[in-house]
Amino acid sequence: MLREDGTGAIEYFYGKMGEVTKTRRTLIVPNQAIATYVTQWTYDSHNRLLEMIYPDEEKVTYTYDLGGQLTNVHGEKSYGYDYVNRIGYDKFGQRTYMKYCNGAETFYTYDPQRRRLQNLKVNAGGNTIMDNAYTYDAVSNVLSVANGAALPQSGKAGGQMSHSYTYDALYRLTGATGTYTGADSKTASYTLAMGYDNMHRITSKSQHLTQGNLQFDGTLNVGYDLTYTYGQEDGKKFQLDNVSDVNYRTETTPDESRKTRNSHAYEYDANGNLVYVNTGRTKKDGTTDEKTHERKLKWDEENRLLASDDDGFVTNYWYDADGERTVKTSGESEQVYVNSEFAGGRTNTAKFSLYVSPYLVANQGGRYTKHIYIGSQRIVSKIGDFASYGADPRRIQYAGSEADAVNVDYDVKYSQQLQAIKENYATFGVPYNGTDNDDYVDGEGFCCDDGTIEATMAQANALEDNFQEGDAYEDLQFYYHPDHLGSSSYITNLDGEVVQHIEYVPFGEVFIEERNNIWNTPYLFNAKEFDEETGLYYYGARYYDPRLSLWMSVDPISNYDPLNSENFLDGQHNGGIYNYANLNPYVYCYNRSTVYIDPNGKQGFSGALFGGFIGGFTEYASIVGSKMLFKNKTFKEANKELDSGDWINIALSAGFGAASGVIDNGISRMTNWIAKPTNRKIVTKLLENGIDMVEEALSQYIETGKISISSMLVGALTEVGMGKLIGEKYVKKALGEATDAVNAAEKRLADLSNRRHPNAKLIHKAQEDLNSAKQFYGIIKGLDIGNETAKKTVSKGASDRVE
C-alpha cells in the first residue's frame, strides 16, 4: 500500500496476519534533499515485537518472559549491546527493576496497599544518582518528592533535590517549593504560587528562583509575576487577552529598580489558535514602548502550526497525513534596513530536523539520532553521522517507484515546499531572500561528506557543531533516567557517567540543567521535545508554553461527542463535557502538572491510572480472547462463559491497577461516572441479571449509538471494580443475595439430577441458572474486593456520595 501526502510518500508492506513488516518512506527536506528510509519489523503470533531493523541497518531484538513481559532489548550493528539487560516485575505486573547496558540499575518500590510509586532509585557509575521518595495525600495528589542520594563528587553533575506541593479543594496545584544542593557548594531554590478562577482559568502565576554557584560563581536571582486577563466576548472567554509580566534577572537583590514590566497582548483566529503576541515594555518614566517583541504564528486548516516568526526569525513546520511533524527548518536571518525599508541581506533554512519516525531523527551535516524504546518509553538515544549510517538516503529507491499505476511526482512536491517557505515569510511580512536549492539529488548541506560550502555552513550553524570527527559512533549512546512524570532527569553515557542533569519547576520550565557532554537531549519535560526556536514543547496534537502553563491551541477533541462510541476508547475524552475541567480547552493537565501527563496533546492521565485501565481491560481481553481462540467461541459466547473466578481476576486486576492510579483521577471523576443516567441503568441491569444479560441490557443504548459494549466493560471493570460507583452497603447486601442465589441454584440442580426420571431439558436450564448465579456472584465479589482495596483511597464523604 502506498500513502502520499504533502511531505512525500510512504509504502507499507504487510505480513500474513495483516501486521506492518516494512515501510519505505521518502521525505522532502526543503532546500536540502529528498531522502528515503527503510524500516522493518517482525512480530510473533501474539503481535509482540520481536525484531526491528532501523534505517541504518541496526537490528534490535526484544525478548519476553513466559508471562509475555519484556525482559531484554539487544542491538546489533558494528557491535552488540544489551541496551536493557533485564527487567523485573512484581505479581501485579508493575516494573520493579531494570538494568541498562551501561550498568545503571533502576529500582521501583510501591505502596503495598494502594500500589502507588513509593520510591524510585537509580544506581549508575558506582553511585546512587537518584533516590526519589514520594508522599501523597488521601486522594493521591503528590505532596512531596525528595531525592535523598548522596552528593556527587566535585566536578560531577547531580545532587539532592526536594519538592513540596499544595493543592486547592479542586486538586489544582496552588503552591510549590523546591531546594537543590549539589557538589562544589552549588545551591538553588524556587517558590511557585498559582491562582485560578472557577472556570479553571489561571489568574496569576508567581515564580521566583535563586541559584548559587551554578552557572557562575555567585548568586543569580530570576523570577516573574504574571497576571492573566481573558476575553469578554462569547467564544473567547478562555482565550488570553493580556498578561501583565513583572520579571527580573539579576545577580543582586531583586528590588523594584531591577524589575522589568511587560504587557503581552494576545490574538487568536476563529478556530482558537494563538496567532499573535505583542509585547510592550513600560519604561521608568511610565510610558510604554509598543512592539518591543512580536511573535506571529501561522496555522493550517487542521489547526497545525505551519510557521512561527519571532522578530524576523522564522521557523517552518511540515506534517504528514497522521498529523505528526515530519520536518522543522529554520536558519540565520541577516537583514539590513534603511529608514525602515529593507535594503538587503539573506535568509537561509540550513538548519533542519527530519522526523523519519519516532525511532530516527536526521539533522543537517549528516547527523542523525536513533531512539530505542520499551513500549512508549524512550530508553536510549544513539548518535551517528553520515559515515556510520550505511546506505545514502538520497540514493535509496523512492517510495512508490515500483507501484503499479502510481506516479508520485517528487519534483512537484519539492517545488511546493519551497513555495510554502516563501509564503510563510510573506505572511509574516519578512523578506525571503534565500537561494533556492533545486539540486535535491546531491542534497548539498544534507550530507557532511559533500565538501560543499553549504554543508560547511550547515555544520557551522548547527547547535550540535561540537560533534567531534574522532568520536566513535558506537560510543555515542545515552541512557534516560526519568522521574514519575517521564521527564528526563538524568542522562548517562555508555560508561554509566552522568552527562546531563535536569530539574524542573512544576509546569515544565527547566530549573537546573548541568551539561558535560557533546550531545544534550532536547526531550525534557514529560519526555517531549523542547523547541528552543520558540520555547514551546511539541506534544503531537498541540504545542505547550511552560511559562504561561497553557496550550497554544484548543483541545482537538473539545467539540467531539463524549458518548461517541467510535472514539470512546481513544482515552481522549476524560469525561468530555461531563468533566467540568474540560470546559477550558487551553488548560494543561487540569492544572495538576505534578500528577498528570499528556502523551499527545489530547488527554491527561498519569501512568498509574493508565496502568489500572490496562490492568482491568487486558485481563478481560486476555480471558475472553483465549476462549474465542482456543474454544472457537464468538465474542458473545465467550462473555457468557466467564465464570466467577474469571470475574474475580478481572476485578482484582482493574481494582489494584486503579488503586495505584487514583493519583491521576481524584474522587470527583470516579464518582461522576455513576451519576449519569445511562451508566447507572447499565450497572443496575448488569447487577440484576448477571453477565449473561450484558448485551440485552445494553442493546437499547447500542442502537442509539450512545455507547459500546467494550466501552461499558472498560468503565465497569476499571471503575466499578474499584468499588467507587456502587456503594459499599449495596455491595454487601448484593453479595449476600448472590450467595443465596448460588446456593439455591445448586440445590435446584441437585434435586433435578437426583430424580428417579431426570428431565434433561430442566437439568440443562438449571445448569444455565447456576452458571448465571455464579457469574453474578463473581461480579459482586469482585466489587467487594475492590471496595476493600479502595477503603483507604476513598474518603467517607466521597463514599457517601455514591451510596
pLDDT tens digits, one per residue of 209-242: 999 999 899 999 999 999 999 999 998 999 999 9
In the predicted model, is pLDDT for residue 415 greater than 70?
yes
| Of 143 and 737, more confident | 143
pLDDT for the residue 387: 80
CA 456 to chain centre: 36
Q: Cell numbers of 279, please? A: 509585547
In the predicted model, is pLDDT for residue 364 greater than 70?
yes
Cβ(789)–Cβ(655) under 8 Å?
yes
pLDDT for the residue 288: 80
| Of 418 and 442, more confident | 418
Q: Are strands 325-330 and 333-338 parallel, antiparallel or unpaired?
A: unpaired
pLDDT tens digits, one per residue of 50-64: 999 999 999 999 999
Which residue's entry shows cell 545514502?
392
Question: Counting Cβ atoms within 10 Å, is residue 725 exposed (0-12), middle (13-18) or buried (19+)?
Answer: buried
In the predicted model, is pLDDT for residue 779 greater than 70?
no
Lowest mean pLDDT among 15-19, 163-167, 490-494, 593-597: 15-19
Q: Are strands 274-282 and 260-268 parallel, antiparallel or unpaired?
A: antiparallel
Share the mean pLDDT of the chain. 79
CA 81 to chain centre: 27
Cβ(66)–Cβ(72) under 8 Å?
no
Which residue's entry shows cell 481462540?
629
Q: Which residues pair with 265 in a beta bridge?
A: 242, 278
pLDDT for the residue 233: 94
| Of 598 and 674, more confident | 598
pLDDT for the residue 574: 61
Mean pLDDT within 569-591: 70
| Dihedral of alpha carbons 335, 337, 341, 344, sign | negative
| Of 738 and 301, more confident | 301
What is the C-alpha separation between 631 and 609, in angstroms, rounded?
32
529-531, strands of its sheet edge to edge: 529-531, 536-538, 543-545, 550-551
Residue 673 phi/psi, 5° resolution? -60, -50
Residue ranges of domains in the chain, CATH in brackets? 2-201+300-534 (2.180.10.10), 606-801 (no CATH)
Altogether, the residues listed in the chain come to a count of 803
| Of 512 and 628, more confident | 512
pLDDT band at 558 (very low <50, low <70, confident <90, very high): low
What is the C-alpha separation between 439 and 352, in angstroms, rounded?
17
Cβ(151)–Cβ(510) under 8 Å?
no
pLDDT for the residue 689: 37
- Percentage of residues of the chain with pLDDT beyond 90: 52
Which residue's entry shows cell 505583542?
278
pLDDT for the residue 763: 80
What is the C-alpha separation between 781 and 701, in angstroms, rounded?
26
Mean pLDDT within 580-605: 86
Mean pLDDT within 359-385: 92
Residue 249 phi/psi, 5° resolution? -150, 105
Cβ(297)–Cβ(308) under 8 Å?
yes
In the predicted model, is pLDDT for residue 196 greater than 90?
yes
pLDDT tens digits, one per residue of 670-680: 334 334 454 44
Q: CA end-to-end span of the chain, whole Å?
A: 54
3-state secondary structure 259-275: CEEEEEEEEECCCCCEE
- Percentage of residues of the chain with pLDDT beyond 70: 71
